[in-house]
Amino acid sequence: MPFDESRRRTRLTRGSAYFPEQQALGLRGYPAPAVQLGLLPRFEIRHTLDRESGQIYLPAINIALVAGVLLLVLEFQSSSAMAAAYGIAVSGTMLVTTGLAMLMLRHVWKWSWLLVASISAPILLIELAFFSGNLLKVPEGGYVPLVLGALIGLAMWTWSRGTRDLFQRSRAQAVPLDRFIRQIERGSALHAPGNAIYLSSDPKSSPPALLHNLKHNHVLHGQIVVLTVETCDTPRVRAAERASVEQIDDRFTRVTLRFGFMETPNVNRALGQLRKDTLDFEGRKLSFFLGRRKIVASPTVGMPVWWDRVYILMSRLAADPSDFYHLPRDRVVEMGSQVAV
């Protein structure tokens, strides 16, 4: 299926303890767009209304909000005591919003920096005056939004960098798919009936689950689909641009599914549509293979150990990929490995 690369930029959504990519739906301030953009781990998302895609409930986020509200109530006791924290939060939000607007004017609307500065400078001066005045109230409780913002920023930076390093290390050790296919043609692996779908973050590399399955079970399915999930920088992807299918040979097929950052990555539904239009196999004969990775901290690899431990803790909060990608649980097989960060 054709797809115009000039119309959008995509980013691979890198998973936590799983090799496949991560994403989920989100609207109106929910944290799920950050998940889609690879800034937070996958969270469990429950849809509370089938007629409205934005009606979602995130148990982990809800629990964190309840705990935060209770701590604030116990700390400040009254709403008047929270005035300092509120002032810094509001003025800080105004500054961040103006900064994002400047980036949008420059990089999206392609305005010159001179024009952007001439429009934004008066607004920034006023907002900086407000923010500077509120900084005097930091000891009285204004530290709360600053500390909270720093923790959220650290969490996003940790997840983004750790996932990027993990992805690059996995890619460096990966076996190119084309070379793997040529090698197995000369091998003696057993052929099992049925169809297997291997989720992979890199469409040009052999999925780790495929390599582990061949190494330990010495078997390959009759039809193998290497599936990659991409998240676009656009809110939604048109149905005609949802999928790309490439037939590598008589056994292997490469499939790429694209979802907007405000869409639910329903892989099972997208594959069902492909079975009607392009792919020729029965859904009940499909097996999904996922590569689960146990992450361990290492002082000699990647980030400092304390940073590694933060990343590992965040990875444990990630939702099960079977739920996240809406895969049929009774047809999912996980192949494990251990990797240091």
What is the predicted pLDDT for the residue at 294? 78
User: Percent of the chain beyond pLDDT 70?
Assistant: 85
Most confident of 59-68, 99-108, 208-217: 99-108
What is the predicted pLDDT for the residue at 301? 74
Element housing 274 (H / E): helix 267-277
Query: What 3-state class would DSSP assign to 26?
Result: coil
Bridge partners of 32, per DSSP, are none
pTM: 0.67
* Comparison of pLDDT for 32 and 215, the residue scoring more: 215
Query: What 3-state class would DSSP assign to 109?
Result: coil
pLDDT digits (tens, 9 = 90+) for 11-54: 443 333 333 333 322 233 344 567 767 788 877 777 676 565 56
Bridge partners of 339, per DSSP, are 295
Query: What 3-state class would DSSP assign to 45?
Result: coil
Q: Is 55 a residue whose pLDDT tops 80? A: no
Q: Is 125 a residue whose pLDDT tops 90? A: yes
C-alpha to C-alpha distance for 32 and 25, rounded to whole angstroms = 6
**Treating both helix axes as pointing N-terminal to C-terminal, what angle do 83-107 and 143-173 enclose, rounded to 10 degrees?**
40
**Residues contacting 118, CB < 8 A, separation 6+:** none
pLDDT digits (tens, 9 = 90+) for 143-172: 999 999 999 999 999 988 888 888 787 777
What is the predicted pLDDT for the residue at 11? 41
**Mean pLDDT in residue range 70-99:** 89
**Mean pLDDT in residue range 272-286:** 72
Residue 18 is classified by DSSP as B
What is the predicted pLDDT for the residue at 2? 40
Phi, psi of 231 (to 5 degrees): -110, 125
Q: What tokens does 327 get?
A: 């895969």
Q: Under a CB-based contact definition with an 8 Å cutoff, are residues 267 and 325 in contact?
A: yes
Burial tier of 14 (Cβ tally within 10 Å: 0-12, 13-18, 19+)? buried
What is the predicted pLDDT for the residue at 49? 65
* Comparison of pLDDT for 283 and 102, the residue scoring more: 102
Of 320, 319, 302, the closest CA to residue 311 belongs to 302
What is the predicted pLDDT for the residue at 12? 40
* Comparison of pLDDT for 225 and 233, the residue scoring more: 225
Bridge partners of 338, per DSSP, are 294
Mean pLDDT score of the chain, rounded to an integer? 80
What is the predicted pLDDT for the residue at 166? 81
Burial tier of 63 (Cβ tally within 10 Å: 0-12, 13-18, 19+)? exposed
Give residue for tokens 């040009």.
204
Q: What tokens does 125 get?
A: 């001066």
Q: Is 80 a residue whose pLDDT tops 90? A: no
**Residues contacting 66, CB < 8 A, separation 6+:** none
Q: What tokens does 244 get?
A: 């790309």
What is the predicted pLDDT for the residue at 165? 83
Q: Where are the domains of the chain?
A: 27-36+40-170, 176-340
